[in-house]
Amino acid sequence: MDSGERDVSEVVLKGSTVTATEAASRSAVLKRLRVTDKIFHGLTRTAALLVLALMSGVILSLVYGAAPALGTFGFGFLFDESWNPVTERFGALAPIYGTLITSAIAMLIAVPVGLLIAFFLTELCPPVLRRPIGIAIELLAGIPSIIYGIWGLFVFAPFMQQYVQPFFIDTFANVPLLSTLFAGPPYGIGMFTAGLILAIMVLPFVTSISRDVFDAVPPVLKEAAYGVGCTTWEVFRYVVLPFTRVGVIGGFMLGLGRALGETMAVTFVIGNAHHVSASLFAPGTTISASIANEFTEAVGDLYTSSLIALGLILFFITFVVLAIARYMLMRLQMRAG
């Protein structure tokens, strides 16, 4: 073999050696990536199963704790207004009624106001004020609920008692149905006051989510609407809201979940009376407020079980609300294709 052939063979051998090294390195990298992917897949699956296990544990604990009360009172527990620890007769009608009424008042006020604030911040607000107003609204979400409760009891409730409630009572005194909803006397505290406090607490959540989804609307859609002569209201009604309806419903359900489960702020201003009244100014109670007020004083298994049964009912109400929300979002997505 001459020198030229020897040089060619050495080059070929060196090339094959380099190729084998690269192949081994790539194989090691791929093996490491497969192992990492399997570990990540296992961690994510474990996290998902852990959430299901925790939720199942909560449900089982509530069912087990509520069994004595449900076994004693049956389905009548849901429709009985009485709540007498002395005679050990308990009913959940008043807390359920107060929870639904205060949450409904909160959402009827917070959703329209939150949507209008979000649209103002995204379309009409001067740029120099947009960031300060947005930060101020987001700061409302960080205020502890007990602060809202103290403010509501010592500041807002006296204001309601002196000015707002007498105005409604006198204005609607001779109007059918409204005279019943706004009947006196003006206590200051009550379901209406609790609903207003909840509306203030829910407003930042609805506004923040609505503002984010409004920002995602393509500018070309709004510009086209303005170009054909639409007013600002028409752009909001026929362009922005239809494009962002999924996000708006999500914000609504998030706020409703917060309103249903709020405890301390409502406890301060609702009056904590186990009584069902048609008047929104009358004192009442909610499920969470009843549990917070009486759990430490519950004497006897039946009393404790009745409070746990209230927690089970609240869990069921929240689950139904979230299920309805998911169903609505699914229908909207299917309709949009």
What CA–CA distance (Å, rounded) separates 248 from 209? Answer: 7
Answer yes or no: are the C-beta atoms of 286 and 99 closer than 8 Å: yes
Q: Do residue 157 and residue 264 come from a single domain? A: yes
Q: Do residue 182 and residue 256 come from a single domain? A: yes
Give pLDDT, residue 337.
Answer: 58
Q: What is the mean pLDDT of each run of 10 residues along the chain (337 residues)?
A: 47 52 81 88 93 92 93 90 89 93 94 92 87 85 89 94 92 89 89 94 90 89 89 89 85 87 91 90 93 86 92 91 80 69
Residue ending a domain, choose from 12, 39, 73 = 73
Q: Do residue 154 and residue 40 come from a single domain? A: no
Q: Do residue 88 and residue 69 come from a single domain? A: no
What CA–CA distance (Å, rounded) separates 47 from 44? Answer: 5
Q: Do residue 327 and residue 205 come from a single domain? A: yes
Residue ending a domain, choose from 39, 73, 107 = 73
Q: Do residue 229 and residue 143 come from a single domain? A: yes
Q: Do residue 39 and residue 122 come from a single domain? A: no
Q: Give the residues across from 271 on adjacent strands.
A: 284
Q: Do residue 199 and residue 84 come from a single domain? A: yes
**Helix axis angle, 93-119 to 245-261, nearest 10°:** 140
pTM attached to this predicted model: 0.84
Number of domains in the chain: 2
What CA–CA distance (Å, rounded) separates 44 from 324? Answer: 27
Q: Do residue 128 and residue 61 come from a single domain? A: no
Q: Helices marked H in the chain — which ranges?
A: 3-73, 76-79, 93-119, 127-141, 145-151, 157-159, 165-171, 178-181, 191-215, 219-227, 232-235, 241-243, 245-261, 264-269, 287-294, 301-336
Q: Do residue 62 and residue 29 come from a single domain? A: yes
Give pLDDT, residue 295.
Answer: 85
Answer yes or no: are the C-beta atoms of 122 and 214 closer than 8 Å: yes
Q: Do residue 140 and residue 155 come from a single domain? A: yes
Give pLDDT, residue 11.
Answer: 43
Handedness of CA 21, 23, 26, 28 (dihedral sign): negative
Q: Do residue 53 and residue 176 come from a single domain? A: no
- Residue 261 belongs to a domain with what CATH number? 1.10.3720.10
Q: For residue 89, how many C-alpha atoms fall within 13 Å in the half-sphere facing its CB?
A: 7
Domain that holds residue 96: 74-336
Give pLDDT, residue 336.
Answer: 63
Residue ending a domain, choose from 55, 73, 91 = 73
Give pLDDT, residue 323.
Answer: 84
